């Protein structure tokens, strides 16, 4: 039996492409998860492992969907081999179910390459964070600058415009105005 496992890291991401590929590969059961691969105790992954029996095959779209570190991937593949369960990765064309040594060799090579990619990404992220000047923050710049806040407060206190018009005047949405000036509604009503 072929058991598919699809995973994305964020709940806002979609597993449709993976599931379509797993169905095309002939998977009888597919387990879907929206959780970081760094977490060992992923409920759907554990269900897939518990469901698999000797002679079955776990199929993933890519090795990165199965594990995020070489250590985690090798531990999983060792467990599968001990239990007589094959592993197949569609993207890397790895198939340990065939029993040949080339599948295991390719699996170890791809695991090492995946780990290298993860390590490089971490190093680049660390370097980019270190390159920032003191006191600099990441993310988008603030939309509500001090002059805009002062202007919005003055307009609100004046009381000639409703809150949504004040927000339009300073070039932001009403929710942004309320985040920058929590007392905006009270200021507008007091005028």
Residues 152 and 119 in one domain: no
Its pTM stands at 0.58
Residue 139 within any structural domain of the chain? no
Find the catalytic residue in 9, 98, 104, 175.
9
Residues 110 and 176 in one domain: no
From 16-30, 116-130, 144-158, the region with the lowest mean pLDDT:
116-130
Secondary structure (3-state) at 166: helix
Q: What's the pLDDT tens digit per position in 40-62?
A: 789 999 999 999 999 999 999 99
Residue 58 within any structural domain of the chain? yes
Return the pLDDT at 103.
65
Distances (CA, A) of 146 to 24, 58, 149, 180, 181: 56, 56, 5, 10, 11
Residue 23 within any structural domain of the chain? yes
Handedness of CA 152, 158, 160, 163 (dihedral sign): positive
User: Tell me, what CATH number does 40's domain have?
Assistant: 3.40.50.1390
Token digits of residue 68:
């995020």
Burial of 47 (0-12, 13-18, 19+ CB in 10 A): middle
Q: What's the pLDDT tens digit per position in 85-141?
A: 989 999 888 887 766 666 667 767 777 777 788 888 889 988 888 888 777 777 788
| 9 in active site | yes
Domain that holds residue 179: 146-190
Token digits of residue 148:
């805009």
Token digits of residue 13:
């991401």
The yes-or-no verdict on residue 160 having pLDDT over 80 is: yes
Return the pLDDT at 69.
76
């Amino acid at each position: 039996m072929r058991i598919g496992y699809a995973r994305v890291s964020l709940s806002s991401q979609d597993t449709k492409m993976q599931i379509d590929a797993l169905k095309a590969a002939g998977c009888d059961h597919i387990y879907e998860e929206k959780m970081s691969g760094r977490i060992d105790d992923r409920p759907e992954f554990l269900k897939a492992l518990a469901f698999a029996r000797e002679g079955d095959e776990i199929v993933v779209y890519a090795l990165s969907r199965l594990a995020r570190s070489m250590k985690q991937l090798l531990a999983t593949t060792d467990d599968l081999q001990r239990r007589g369960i094959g592993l197949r990765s569609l993207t890397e064309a790895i198939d340990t179910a065939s029993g040949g040594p080339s599948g295991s060799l390719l699996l170890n090579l791809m695991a090492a390459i995946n780990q290298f990619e993860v390590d490089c990404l971490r190093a680049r992220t660390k370097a980019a964070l270190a390159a920032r000047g003191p006191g600099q923050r990441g993310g988008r710049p603030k939309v509500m600058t001090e002059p805009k806040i002062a202007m919005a407060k003055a307009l609100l206190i004046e009381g000639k415009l409703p809150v949504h018009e004040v927000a339009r005047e300073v070039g932001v949405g009403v929710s942004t105005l309320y985040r920058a000036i929590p007392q905006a509604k009270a200021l507008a009503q007091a005028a």
